[in-house]
Structure formats: structure tokens, C-alpha cells
Chain A
């Protein structure tokens, strides 16, 4: 139900990968003498640092530029790390009013989500459930995680949710659901209890 930074990660990994690949290829070609022949760069026998490095680093302006570069790189790295924390990204308050000239009607989506959870928890086989509403009042997105026991009739649970819970939520909001995403989970504890029927050894025809 929580959202991760998959697209962000793929984009930045691709950018960094291309940069590393390009820089590495250029270094290898320069070291082997191919690049100087093709693009007339510095000869392979020449020193990497042609001038006086200490004199180059001496001005305070160089230290200031390095400080700015360091801050930018560090902040980007920190933001990237923070972006890895999965987020619920819930909807804000649903605005159920029209133009607002006759007053405002706001509804906290968590109230509706709690009602959905309460109804689903009464279904046979359901151990627990979690509902999250996103989107807007006129285009709501519902994400559900329903944990059932390992003997539950999963299709029956899905059918009951689809034929009772979703229409009732849609009816309450007076709008069709933009999307409904349902994740079925199985309780990790194996169901070993239930109605025990003792065998009498008598067969009745």
C-alpha cells in the first residue's frame, strides 16, 4: 500500500551509470592513446595536471566553489536517501461541497477508510484489513489490504467486497471509484482451530 521511489531510483541510477560509463571509457581511451589520435586531446605521455596544482588550489574562491559543489552533492545524496522511505501518500480532506458559496463540507478520508475496514472485517475468513483512500471526492482511489486466514474462500471474499463494500463507498461519495486496488494477504499463522467433529465410527446411510 505504501509507495516507493521506483521511478526516481531508476532515473538517477541510469544517469549516474551513463556518467560513470562515459568517464571510464574516456579515461581508458585517453590512457591507451586512442583519444589523442581521434580528438587531438593531450598526448598520453603528458602529465594529467599540467600546471601547478598547489597554486591552482591556493585562492579562497576555489575553496568556496568546492564548498558549494560539496553542499549540492551532499544534499542530493541526502534527499535520495530520504526518498527511499515508503510513503502512504494519503488524500487530503475530501471537499464534498459544490462552489462553496453555501458553506463547506469536508470529509476526512480516514473516516471513510475506517468504515470500509470495519465492514470488511466482518466478512467470513477475514483476519484484518487496511484501507487507504487517495484521489479526490469526485474521483476517489481506494487501496485495500485484506488479510484472510489460510482456509478462507478468497474468491468469495473478493466477490463480497466488490458487490457490497465498493458500491456502498461509491454510493456514500456519490461518485464512481477511479480505481480500486485490492491486495489479498494470507495470515502467517496456520489455521489449526475450528469446529471439531468427533468420529463415532458409525456410518449412516
Chain B
């Protein structure tokens, strides 16, 4: 299956909806397998499997105004809305764009027609955490990053953290700025004193 005609696709992309696709694909496969099994049993043995007897009797006695029909309709509407939401809601970008500092741009611009430089959200979180743990007073730190925000959970040995939170956010923001992230995500931090 040759997708994209052996061309590269943007590294900064929306989620591929693999989980809902896998669930829907598995349900389709299961439904197909059930139909094949039922029909093959009918063709080989000459009669439909007994497991079909109950549903067929229930269906034969069902009227359109039966509450069960309404419930099936509601379930189908809910499933449809969920599937459409999975398809339509874009989701967050997988990576952040790194801007070009401009140095020497003229030398290589002629050799590349389209340029994209990104850093994954996980990499941004690693970078923020690494810068954070270098700051005096920080015991341990963990970081999470989205395309707009980087949050740090910091544990300190200091009984009075003072301006530690401000120093952390300033240092991490400066590190992200010098990395060239564009735009620079907002940096927030939560500092807890270790008892």
C-alpha cells in the first residue's frame, strides 16, 4: 500500500485517530466474520445455526413503535455522533515549530524548496525538565508539554521556596526561546517543599 506516493508528509500533524479506527475496524471485522460463519453454516449443513433462532423470533414479533426500536435508533445516533466527533475534532498538534534564526539562510535556501523544523511535545518536556533540574534548589522535576503550554511539577528541599518558582519559569522560558520554538509556549510551574 503506497500512501502519499513516496512523498514526505508534515512532521507537525494532528492525531491520526488510530484508536477509534482500530475499534471500528475490529467491529467491522467481527461483523463480517459472524455473517460469513452464519452463511457458511447454512450452506454446509442446510440449516441456519440455532443461535439465530432467538433473534429471528424477536425480530418477527417486533413492531415499529416498540420501545426497543427507539432505543436502537438512539444507540445508532449516539454511535454516529461519536464517530463524527472522532473524525471532525482536530486534536492537538504532535510537535512545535522551531523557527529559523536567520543566520546563513541565504546559503542553503537555494538547495531546499520547502523546509520544516519541529520539536515533539515530549522533547520540549524533556528540555524543560533538564533545564529545571539544573537550577539550584530544585530537588526533582517532571514536565508536561502541549503546543501552547509547558508545566513543571517541582519538588524542592527548601522550606521556603521564595522566588524559586519565578526563577524556574524564567530559566525554562529562556531555554525554550534560545531553542527557537515559535511561538514560545507559556511556562508554568508548581513548587512543593519536600517534608
Contact = CB atoms under 8 A, between A and B. Distances in A.
Interface string B7-28: 1111101111110111011111
Contacts of A81: 22, 25-26, 29
A184 B56 CA distance: 59
Contacts of B115: 162, 179-182
Contact of A182 (B13, B70, B117): B117
B113 A70 contact: no
Contact of A177 (B107, B113, B131): B113
B158 interface: no
B104 interface: yes
B15 to A, nearest CB: 8
A156 to B, nearest CB: 9
Interface string B76-97: 1111111110111000000100
Contacts of A30: 64, 69, 73
A148 to B, nearest CB: 9
B108 A163 contact: yes
B17 A70 contact: no
Interface stretch (B122-130, B147-155, B185-193): B122-130
A73 B112 contact: no
A57 B43 CA distance: 12
A45 B178 CA distance: 72
A20 interface: yes
A183 B36 contact: no
Interface string A1-26: 10111101111111011111111111
B42 A63 contact: yes
A191 interface: yes
Contacts of A20: 76-77, 79-80, 83
A33 B64 CA distance: 9
Interface stretch (A82-90, A97-105, A115-123): A82-90
Contact of B29 (A4, A33, A77, A162): A77
Interface in B101-155: 101, 103-105, 107-108, 110-120, 122-124, 126-127, 129-131, 133
Interface string B39-81: 1101100001000000010011111111001101111111111
Nearest to B131: A150
B64 A46 contact: yes
A43 B42 CA distance: 33
Nearest to A192: B133
Contact of A14 (B29, B88, B120): B88
A3 B119 contact: no
B180 interface: yes
B156 interface: no
A31 B66 contact: yes
A153 B129 CA distance: 16
Interface of B: 1-4, 6-11, 13-18, 20-22, 24-36, 38-40, 42-43, 48, 56, 59-66, 69-70, 72-84, 86-88, 95, 98, 100-101, 103-105, 107-108, 110-120, 122-124, 126-127, 129-131, 133, 178-180
Q: Which 4 A-B pairs have the closest CB atoms?
A: A74-B32, A70-B35, A24-B76, A77-B28
Interface of A: 1, 3-6, 8-14, 16-28, 30-33, 42-49, 53-54, 57, 60, 63-64, 66-67, 69-78, 80-84, 87, 89-92, 132, 134-135, 141-143, 150-151, 153-155, 158-159, 162-163, 166-167, 170-171, 176-188, 190-191
Given A87-B1, A135-B6, 8 more contacts: A6-B16, A21-B76, A46-B64, A47-B61, A78-B29, A177-B113, A179-B8, A184-B123
